[in-house]
Every structure is written in structure tokens, then in C-alpha cells.
């Protein structure tokens, strides 16, 4: 038996919208720790890891570890039927081939029930070791989204370079080239507007902008994004979900040969 109740139901909508651009089908795992997911895109270049900790839910019951294969577009269709202020309860049963979503309006005058078919998913899971990164950039998530969108209209790849001057995003395409430098800036009214650059070693890596733009679908989840870079590792683009967990995207770099 599995039962999860989330008063801030819109959060679940945002989570699904954040990842469905990258993966179509995914296996959600439920355990005492929380509701989690790890899925790779079809070309095995990018990976999304989601964690919603059990403590973040208003009610969390998970009697046994359970994996549920879901089509994210179908999930989005169901969740779109919930009002933005609705309370969402998610239920599943061992051995069942469906899950159910219940949406309650804040005043309890409308209650909707939806049942969604599960799917069999043969998912490959990767072990992601804890790592020390050469550089960690924290910046407003809307700013990062804007940069990826702007550069995406000029080129296909972005070079992200971190030096003690700040972080530079560069691209080159048929019509020309672009460089955007963001300097460390902590002198702001609100902490979420700050840009910080933590650098152990300078690093410069190239990534496909198509994937970066896909990651920015998670922007509504968090005011800040953390970009962790190391020349030996895929980049990690992390959106923290307040009091609940995170959505992390991993992307393998492009290399010159």
C-alpha cells in the first residue's frame, strides 16, 4: 500500500513538467526515504535524478519498496486536471497495474479521482558516485534559462568556462558568435538573485544546448540553479525543491577529437 498526500499539489505538476521533455517513460521508486526517480534520455547522454523526501509530504505511507513505470506525458495530462491550489493524493497498491490521483480543492467542495495505467519499464540504473567538482556556480534559475534560450538561437553548443573572473557561456553558429559573462554578485537585495562562483580549478567544457534548454523546464521549481563542473565528469544542473529534495540533471560533455 502506498499513499502520498501533498497539500502543495502544484509542486507535482512542476516536477513532471520539469522532466517530461527529457524522458517519456520512467520508473518511479517509492521507499521509506521518499519518492524518487532516475531516468536517462533515449540517447543515453543525459540523466535526470529526482528525490522528494518522505518528510516533505503531508502524509506518506509506503509499506514496501515499490517501483511504478509511468508515461510522463500521460501523468502530465492527469495532473493538468488538478487546480493549482488543489491537494493531491497519490495512491498505489502492490501488484496493481494502475495508480490513482485524487485532487481536492482547498475548500473541499470538489473532489476528483483519476486512475492511470502503469507500464512495464526496463530501466537501466547508473551508480552516481559523490564527487568533488572543480567549480560550482550558483545563479538565479531564470537567468540561466534566459542564457540557454538566447544562446540556443545562435548555436548548438555552449562552452561553459569558469575562471576567477566568473562564469562565461559562449556559443558559435552560422550567423555569428556570442559570449555572456556572469560575475560573482552577492550584493543583492534577495539571496535568490545572487550569483556565486566557487572555483577550485579553472574549467571549460562544451555541452549541447538542446539538453541545457530542456533542463531549464525545471526553472519554476527553484529560484536558484547550481551548476557543478569538472573536466572528468558530466555536468550537474541542480534545482533544489524547498524542504523536499531536488531535481538533478547530468549531461555528458562534448569532446573534440
Partner 1 sequence: DIFQEVLAGYFDSK
Residue 40 interacts with partner 1 (CB under 8 A): yes or no: yes
Residue 4: closest CA among 76, 39, 53, 38: 53
Minimum CB separation of residue 204 from partner 1 in Å reads 13
Contact mark string toward partner 1, 162..201, x via CB under 8 A: ----------------------------------------
Helix (H, G, I), strand (E, B) or coil at 18: helix
From candidates 11, 15, 46, 102, binder to partner 1 by CB under 8 A: 46
- Pick the closer one to partner 1 by CB: 115 or 156: 156
The residue count for binding partner 1 (CB under 8 A) is 25
Residue 236 interacts with partner 1 (CB under 8 A): yes or no: no
Contacts of residue 43, Cβ cutoff 8 Å, sequence gap at least 6: none
What are the beta bridge partners of residue 163?
A: 166
Residue 124 interacts with partner 1 (CB under 8 A): yes or no: yes
The Cα-based distances of 254 to 46, 52, 133, 156, 208 in angstroms read: 12, 31, 18, 11, 7
Residue 256 interacts with partner 1 (CB under 8 A): yes or no: yes
Separation CA 35–CA 19 (nearest Å): 15
From candidates 1, 32, 81, 126, binder to partner 1 by CB under 8 A: 126
Helix (H) or strand (E) holding 166: strand 166-173
14-22, 79-87, 106-114, 125-133 -> range binding partner 1 (CB under 8 A)? 125-133
Residue 77 interacts with partner 1 (CB under 8 A): yes or no: no
Q: Which of residues 215-234 bind partner 1 (CB under 8 A)?
A: 232-234
Residue 176: closest CA among 195, 150, 194, 196: 150
Q: Which of residues 127-146 bind partner 1 (CB under 8 A)?
A: 127-129
Cell of 120: 512495464
Residue 157 interacts with partner 1 (CB under 8 A): yes or no: yes
CA angle 73-2-53, nearest 5°?
Answer: 75
Residue 61 interacts with partner 1 (CB under 8 A): yes or no: no
Cell of 159: 562552452
Contact footprint for partner 1 (CB under 8 A): 40, 43-47, 124-129, 157, 206, 208, 232-234, 250, 252-257
Amino acid at each position: 500500500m502506498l499513499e502520498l498526500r501533498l497539500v502543495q499539489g502544484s509542486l507535482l505538476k512542476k516536477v513532471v513538467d520539469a522532466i517530461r521533455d527529457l524522458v517519456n517513460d520512467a520508473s518511479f521508486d517509492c521507499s521509506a526515504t521518499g519518492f524518487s526517480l532516475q531516468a536517462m534520455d533515449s540517447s543515453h547522454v543525459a540523466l535526470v535524478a529526482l528525490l522528494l523526501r518522505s518528510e516533505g509530504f503531508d502524509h506518506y505511507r509506503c509499506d514496501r519498496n515499490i517501483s511504478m513505470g509511468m508515461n510522463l506525458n500521460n501523468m502530465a495530462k492527469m495532473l493538468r486536471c488538478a487546480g493549482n491550489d488543489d491537494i493531491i493524493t497519490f495512491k498505489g497498491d502492490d501488484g496493481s497495474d494502475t495508480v490513482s490521483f485524487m485532487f481536492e480543492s482547498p475548500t473541499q467542495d470538489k473532489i476528483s479521482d483519476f486512475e492511470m495505467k502503469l507500464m512495464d519499464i526496463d530501466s537501466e540504473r547508473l551508480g552516481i558516485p559523490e564527487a568533488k567538482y572543480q567549480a560550482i556556480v550558483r545563479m538565479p534559475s531564470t537567468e540561466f534559462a534566459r542564457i540557454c534560450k538566447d544562446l540556443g538561437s545562435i548555436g548548438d553548443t555552449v562552452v561553459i568556462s569558469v575562471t576567477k573572473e566568473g562564469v562565461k557561456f559562449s556559443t558559435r553558429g552560422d550567423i555569428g558568435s556570442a559570449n555572456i559573462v556572469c560575475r560573482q554578485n552577492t550584493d543583492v537585495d534577495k539571496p535568490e538573485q545572487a550569483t556565486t562562483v566557487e572555483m577550485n580549478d579553472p574549467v571549460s567544457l562544451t555541452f549541447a544546448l538542446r539538453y541545457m534548454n530542456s533542463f531549464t523546464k525545471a526553472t519554476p521549481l527553484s529560484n536558484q540553479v547550481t551548476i557543478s563542473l569538472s573536466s572528468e565528469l558530466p555536468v550537474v544542473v541542480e534545482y533544489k525543491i524547498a524542504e523536499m529534495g531536488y531535481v538533478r540533471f547530468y549531461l555528458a560533455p562534448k569532446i573534440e577529437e
